Structure formats: structure tokens, C-alpha cells
Chain A
């Protein structure tokens, strides 16, 4: 490949990131740290304010608690998946992929319908269960999203622990819990730590869930920034909060990436112990009951919020209705979000596909550069392309408002700025999916192709691209799922004509119209389900 083309391939992603990530980031830093010279005034104001301090504290606390509960629910699942083969395991495994693609606003709506004052659970037990608009709902929703990650990572490592270690310990007299605590657990630690860090970061930067389920009392930093800017128009406070959040999440993200390295290293071990098929006798013993109970709980936990939304979308005053769908598909102008619903659906799909296109190209070129090329300053390149992982949707939205509201880049209110925001949010995940497959392709294959007369581009197109295809598809679906689920950043930079499905749902929720919100959510769910089926079809191990 020519030197000039190579340079271009390295430069293009960097230019894109500089314009649509680093420039907005710098704008935030300037807003929060600059007043005729560098100042810590705004940061100190935030830290010394009781309200903001409580929110920062709560953000930590709920992330920690969510992580603990996630482990509590995930570890038994990891054990079952690593050790046993049982009827229905395939379905259960597929089910655990569902949260990956389901937008959080929809799940939040499901929780409202389930746990609300006049919700399904309240009907069943005859009183308000007291879950909604409190920390309990937030943590429950966070567990919903993250326990599949724990099951996936920990069981994958568990299967790879060389059985000789446990056998050696058994021969030396260790048994039961002592064996687990002294031998098995330490070897599982990389997976437990990495999945915990991932959960923690997710919860720390969580937006839609605390926004909708937390009520007035329970907000995260992310929600606080959003309120400061969108309601109070207090950019200084918003920027100061954003700077605090970025600094913290940067540290957490660093820890996560380090723990991920350890995990990947541990997972590279060749030994792979096939789970044992459960015999009929075991099926009827304590183990069988345990597995059945766990499976049932996962079924209920994952499906009930979704089913609640579907149920609600067909219900009015206790009876069956199609009214909500009629409203969703009516071409009438809807004053609640300043556009009609068809437009919202079209917008979501359009942003989704555009995001897929750009983020896949971006991630593919970055992944290729990271794993195939050596050049001066490559460490810097790696750091620059990974940093956006530590930013959050709301921070990005704030940065975009500050950076793109005036010439030379007066882009606020354009459709492509929304696509770029979605791309910045989605591409680190696409990058990860593509990197995983690209790392598995031996560099020798490219060299073999080159020795046979293929130049680097041809070797890539004919050998590496087909082999990486599964990972690219999974990455593209992730990008699509994240784009259609995105709420915070889009909300901050959109114009009514670019209303998306999630924004429409949020607006419906804001005016307490749960029926239309449910019908809209069902449409979102159908799109997500297609994404889910595609992931299942590729057979690529995102598991």
C-alpha cells in the first residue's frame, strides 16, 4: 500500500475524532476552567455545594451497590453456564443477549408499568411496592443490564480453568468451599474484576435510568449535568460537573481497560472444559432445582419489563385497544414532540443506519491500524482513539452545544451532527467487536497472500475482511442498537424535525402518556429484536 494512502488512513480517523470529540472536550474544559485565565472557581463552587456533593456521592454509591447486586445475580449464573449442559440452555443464553440490544428508556418504561403506584405489581400485592422513584428501581435496572456481562465473562473463564489445578488441590485435601475459595476463586478474579469494573463504569455514567426511574431525589452526575444545562441553562456549573465526571470516569475506564487486559490474557488459555450434560438424576436433585429456579428467575427478570410494555400498549382502562397504535401511526402533527410519529421512526432508522456506516468504517480502520501497523507515535494514536470511551453522552452533548453553536463550525441542529454524536458514542464498542476478531486472524495469512502476489489492500479485501466479517456484523449491530437507543446527547442537540423514537417516548413519559409511550416502545422493541436475531444468526461469540 502506498505511503500516502497509509498516511490518509491514519489521519482520517484522527481528524474525525479531533473535530467531533476533542474539540468539544476542549470547549467544555474552557467553559469550566477559564475566566480570563485558568480558574478553579466553578469546580470549587460545585464541590462546596451540598446538593451537588450529595449527587456525586450518590453516583458512587449506586454504582457500587449496583455492581454488588449484579455480581450476586451473575455469579451463580456463571457457575451454571460453565459447569452444566441442561435443557433450555440455548434459549437462556440467547435471552441473556437481549439486554445488550434493548434501549434503556424502554426498560425504564417497563419498570414504571410493573412497579408504579398503579402498576401490575401494585395490583397483585394490593399496595405500592415502593420501588419506583427510588434507588431500588435504579439498581434493579442496572442489574438487568449488567448481570449478563458477569455471566458471560466469568463463565467463559471458568470453563478454561485447567481441571488439574482443582484435582491437585483435591488430592492435597482441599474440598468444598475451601477448594473454591483457595483455588478456583483466585483464578476467576480477572473475570470478576473486569466484569465488575465494566458494570461500575456503566452505572457511573448511567443517564436514562436514573433520569426516569430516580424521580427528583435520586440523580446521578450525568442527570445533574443534563438538568443544569437543559433546565437551568447554567453552563458553568454543567461544565464543572462534566469535568469532575470525565476525570473520574477516565480513572475508572483506565482501571477497566487494565483489568480487561488481565482477563483477556487469562482467557487465552487453551484448555476448554466442556460443560457436563445434566443427568436425569441430577436434574431431579438439588442442582437441578437450583438450575431450574435460576433459569425461571432470568426468564421473568428479562422478559417481564418487555412483556409489561407490550401488554400496556394494547390496554386502556383494563380493556383491549389499538388506540395507541392508531395514534403512533397517524400522520398528524404531535404537539408533544413537535413532529409526527412516522417522522420519528424514520429519523431513528436513518440515524441508525448512518451511524452504522460511519462508525463501522471508523472502527475498522482504527482496529486495522492498531493491530497491523507499526509506526512512530503509535502509542499516542492508541490512547487518542481509546479516550472517547471515557466520555458520556451528556458530556458529549454539552461539548457539542458549546463547540458547534457558532462559526466556523455552526453545525448545531443539523442531522449529521446527531449522526456524528452517535458515532462517537458507538464506535468504541464497534472497535472492540472488530478488534476481537481481527486479533484472532493470524498475521501470517496476510503475509501468505502477499507472497502470492496480493498487495496489502487486496490481501485485506480477500483474506482478512471475509474472516473478520462476523465481528464486523456484530459491531455494526451494536452501533445500530446504540444509535436507536441514544437519548441524552440527541436530546441536547436536536431540532423537533429530527425527533427520534426515544425522544418521542421520553416526551410521552414527560406528559405521563404511558399508552402511546408503550406503543412507540413496542416499535422500538421490534427493531431491537431484529438486531438481536441478526446477532444470534452470525453465531459470532459476543458471548
Chain B
């Protein structure tokens, strides 16, 4: 188990600049880099792996600076987006590739291969070639190949993005299980917020070239620091209002913000409860499986509410024009300069 730390990382490439003042993954932690495409999350991963060189800054594994250590001496396991299985080698040869380079004894290699195959549930596939496997199976082989060398750090670069939705959900559960079982420090790159929430201990949300916020999934979801993080993690309501005497109001709806002046109030649709009343006008609604999403106009601002069907005090066919609203929890966003 290793502690990974990035300090003052600066990386420049034509038209792109990456800056990471500080990022840490504690020993055994599952840290996800989440962000839109082109934000630099894969570049960050490649800097950690040693495939890209940062112009400035330091990469630590525990307390050792790794900047000048070539990738093949870092003892890392990587799973690439396209798996990068060697097409001219069987499953067995792919998995034993790193072991042979480490000059392990034949018996040891055999033992470890069967351990790895069992770990990913691919016993009996030893002599297949990659092209004879399904996408999900290839992904498992890639994972086994990365883990069999007992790496200090596991790096996963969008490992599920080429798979069908169903297999994706199953495999992410397995990745999580294996990571827990081995207790290996893991950096995971994805652009899929649902995947990130489901799998991570910690998430670092990135916008173009920088990290916006690091925190646990729940932390980020309910208390994002700014609008970017809030909107990247799901549907959000963001209202701007003027606060007086620690209170900001929009129509009948008031928030105890304990601040003065202009504020940005944030809450998720599921924090909005519906009751009988006349706080806002229902503009539109959408039926989702078992739920309903309402758009409610409150004093000119649109608020989105999401509730289970049996939680609202009306029949959905007989929705009144006006409804009452209660926002159970909210947070205040950083104002942009």
C-alpha cells in the first residue's frame, strides 16, 4: 500500500495547461479523477505512470520522489481504455508478461497466473487469444495482467467506457470488490459521474486543466464548492438572491444563509418536498420510472423537484396549478469572481 502525492504539478502542451497544486491518495484509497473530456484527467494519470513528464512539480510514492523513475521501474499496474492486450499472445502469456520480466521461477509464475485468473473469474481461458474474448473478458484479462505483478499502485483509465451498460455495472462492482480485497491504492479516471459515485472513496472533480474539489462522493454531491462541481455531478437548483439579516428569499421561499449581500443557493431536486399550498406554479412535469420531476416557477425562477410518486399529496393526473414547496437542505456556493 502506497501513499500517492502530487505537488505543484505543472504540465504544458500546445493549447493545454494542467495545474495541480496538491493531490493525495491515502494508502488503500480508491481515488477517482472525474471530469469532462479534455480536462486533463488522463494526462494526470499518465504523469503518475511516468508516460508524460511534468514541466514542474513532484510525484511522491510514500516519501520517495518518482519524477525521474522510468515507468518500467515504478511497479504500477495500468488498465488502458482499449485494454492494450498484446494481440499476439494468449491470455496466459499476457498475464505472465510482467512476471517473466521479473524473472520469477516457473512455479511461482504458474501459481500467480492461476491466482489472477481466479481473482477475475476467468479460469479456463488461459489459451485463448484476445480477439477470441468478449469486451468484458478482455477487460478482466487487462485487470489480471495489471494486478498479477503486485503493483504498488493501480491506475485505471476509463476501463469501462467501451462496454455495454449492463456489463459496465457488473464490472465496476467487481473492480471495487477486488480493490477492497487487495487493499491497493487505486487511481481511477472516468467522465461518468454515476460510475464515480458508485465506486470511489474519494473523488477529485476536474475542469479544464485543474482540480475543482476533492471529497467523498456524498460530500461533493450535497456540498459542492462551486457551480461547476454542482452541475457536473447531477441535476441542480442554483438560485441567486440578495440576503438581508442573514436571510435570502425568493417569493415565499426563504433560506437561512447567515450571510449578507448576493448569494448563490444550491440544492438538489430530491431536497425539494411538495405539499399543498401556493408557493409556486407547476410549469411542466416529466414522468420517470416510479418518480416525477416537476418544474416549478417561484417568482420567476424555475426550481426542479424530484419525488417518488407516492410522496406527493396529489394524483399525478390531477396536479393542481399551484403547489407548496419545502427545501429540506441546501448549501451556499462560492461566488465566481
A interface with B by C-beta (< 8 Å): 442, 444-445, 447-455, 458-459, 462-463, 466-467
Contacts and interface: CB of A to CB of B under 8 A. Distances in A.
Given A447-B49, A451-B76, A451-B78, 11 more contacts: A447-B80, A450-B71, A451-B71, A451-B74, A451-B77, A451-B146, A453-B72, A453-B102, A455-B72, A467-B87, A467-B88
Contacts of B77: 451-452
A442 B98 contact: no
Which of the listed residues A444, A448, A458, A462 has the most CB atoms from chain B within 10 Å of its own CB? A448
Nearest to B103: A453
Interface string B136-169: 0000000001100100000100000000000000
B149 A466 contact: no
A444 B84 contact: yes
Contact of A455 (B70, B78, B84): B70
Interface of B: 49, 51, 70-78, 80, 82, 84-88, 97-98, 101-102, 145-146, 149, 155
A538 to B, nearest CB: 14
Given A458-B101, A466-B88, A467-B88, A450 B72 contact: yes
A448 B155 CA distance: 11
A35 to B, nearest CB: 48
Contacts of A466: 88
Which are the 9 A-B pairs with shortest beta-carbon distances?
A452-B98, A444-B84, A448-B84, A453-B101, A451-B78, A450-B71, A450-B72, A444-B80, A453-B72
Given A447-B51, A463-B86, A452 B80 contact: no
Contacts of B80: 444, 447-448
A55 B146 CA distance: 66
Secondary structure at the A interface, as helix, strand, loop or mixed, is: helix
Contact of B78 (A448, A454, A467): A448
A454 B51 CA distance: 13
Nearest to B51: A447
Contacts of A454: 72, 97, 101
24 contacts: A442-B82, A445-B84, A447-B71, A447-B80, A448-B80, A448-B85, A448-B86, A449-B86, A450-B71, A451-B49, A451-B71, A451-B146, A451-B155, A452-B97, A452-B98, A452-B146, A453-B101, A453-B102, A454-B72, A454-B101, A455-B70, A458-B101, A459-B72, A467-B87
A80 B208 CA distance: 51
B146 to A, nearest CB: 7
B31 to A, nearest CB: 18
B88 A452 contact: no
Contacts of A448: 78, 80, 84-86, 145
Nearest to A452: B98
Nearest to B82: A444
A220 to B, nearest CB: 45
Contact of A447 (B74, B84, B101, B149): B84
A451 B82 contact: no
A514 to B, nearest CB: 49
A222 to B, nearest CB: 43
Contacts of A453: 72-73, 75, 98, 101-102, 149
Contacts of B102: 453
A453 B87 CA distance: 18
B281 to A, nearest CB: 46
Nearest to A463: B86
B112 to A, nearest CB: 13
A2 to B, nearest CB: 10
A188 B71 CA distance: 44
Nearest to A459: B72
Nearest to B148: A452
Q: By CB atoms of chain A within 10 A, which of B49, B98, B146 has the most?
A: B98
B82 A452 contact: no
Contacts of B71: 447, 450-451
B181 to A, nearest CB: 21
A42 to B, nearest CB: 46
A444 B102 CA distance: 21
Contacts of B84: 442, 444-445, 447-448
A463 B87 CA distance: 9
Contacts of B73: 453
A452 B86 contact: no
A73 B71 CA distance: 54
Nearest to A453: B101
B97 to A, nearest CB: 5
A149 to B, nearest CB: 29
A29 B240 CA distance: 76
B242 to A, nearest CB: 53
Contacts of B87: 467
A155 B62 CA distance: 58
A324 to B, nearest CB: 47
Nearest to B155: A451
A246 B86 CA distance: 44
- Of residues B75, B101, B149, which shows the largest number of chain A Cβ atoms within 10 Å of its Cβ? B101
B78 A447 contact: yes
Given A445-B86, A447-B84, A467-B87, A452 B145 contact: yes
A462 B75 CA distance: 19
A458 B102 CA distance: 12
Nearest to A444: B84
Contacts of B155: 451
Nearest to B96: A452
Nearest to A441: B87
A445 B86 CA distance: 6
A452 B76 CA distance: 7
Contacts of B76: 451
A452 B49 contact: no
Most chain B beta-carbon neighbours within 10 Å: one of A450, A459, A462: A450
A469 to B, nearest CB: 9
Contacts of B146: 451-452
A228 B77 CA distance: 66
A463 to B, nearest CB: 6
A450 B87 CA distance: 16
A238 to B, nearest CB: 47
A449 B146 CA distance: 10
Given A442-B84, A463-B86, A452 B51 contact: no
Contacts of A449: 86, 97
Contacts of B98: 452-453
A449 B101 CA distance: 10
A458 B100 CA distance: 12
